Amino acid sequence: MTNKQIVSAAKQVNEERLLGLFLELAKINGPSTKEQLVADYLINALPELGFTLDFDEAYKHFDGEVGNLIAWHEGTDSSIPPLFFSTHMDTVLPTEGLKPVIKDDVIYSDGTTILGADDRAALAAYLEGIRAIIESGAPHGPIEFILTVNEQPGLVGATYMDYSKVKSKAGYIFDSSGDVGQIILKGPYSSRIWMEVEGSAAHIALNAEEGNSAFLIAAKGLLKMNLGTIDEETLANIGIINGGELTSIIPGSVTVAGEVRSFSKDKLELQLKHMEEAMQEVVTNSGGKLTVRIEKKYSGFDIPKDHILSVTVEKAASNINVKSYLTKTLGGADTNVLNDNGLTCITLGNGFQNIHSFRECISVENLINTGRLTAELIEQWYVSHKQK
């Protein structure tokens, strides 16, 4: 394959078609656990591009409408290891009634809904990227789309995925606010901590002397904890405090819950232990009772910069004149869960901004570059393996 041919598929990306496709997908209402309409669209669209489809039954674990979608394209050369592209089908909030607005080459909603660029932008780019590959006639290996459900609440669909249905072992996930060219090689471990603090309930006027406020106990415990930025690798937060019955009742119990993220599994565990011990000391001294539950959210990942996935995306970005850079993030993505289940993958930036809000937006440039980079990754993956 000549260098001219290598660039041709990315140039085959039709900007107007991709923009229209994104706006069409963004308008499909599919909040978490309600992704059936998105699945219905893909059931029609993907076979037209040569994909065979398979759904798992992950939805049964969280009362959803539809499972994760695994779509397979044979490609033109079965000697090439398959490459997957993954994203999620859900949005954090509904997009029903979405009215997109394009101003200064940036796509917004009209301010009454989210835009859904997280992550319909990636989904649209994948469809256009594979269409560009097909139209260019470029040889390529098998391609797999791993399209998850219920990602927004905490990577739930990926957690319950039937991984026996997945054929590929390496791939990419465009799902980050960095501009196209961002390459995230390292992601965090994350766990939640739930602390049930018990004191003694009592009425403030009738038997206040028998009361032992769980709120005050918990407050003292929180003041003993190190929270926020623990070090350059670790963050800790308390995000839920829930309890009480009436304003006249000294509260007998309260739930305090938080989350820890760290690039280091050991530091994660040390911080969780610190938070439990800080609360336990105060609870013991106050004559209360503490019950603690640790809930794993996901594991971290750390892809070497000389891994073929890393080298391929840097080369692909260069081929389409996009500046790339290697980085890490304490944000979570399906990348964490897929890596934990034996699917080596990297998170890539696709440039959406102000996600999970009515101010969400994405530049037309980032949308188009996501499609171009998708096509170029498929070609460069082929070239890299043929050169071995």
- Give the active site residues: 90, 151
Residue 74 near residue 50 (C-beta atoms within 8 A): yes
Q: Which one-letter amino acid corresponds to residue 388?
A: K
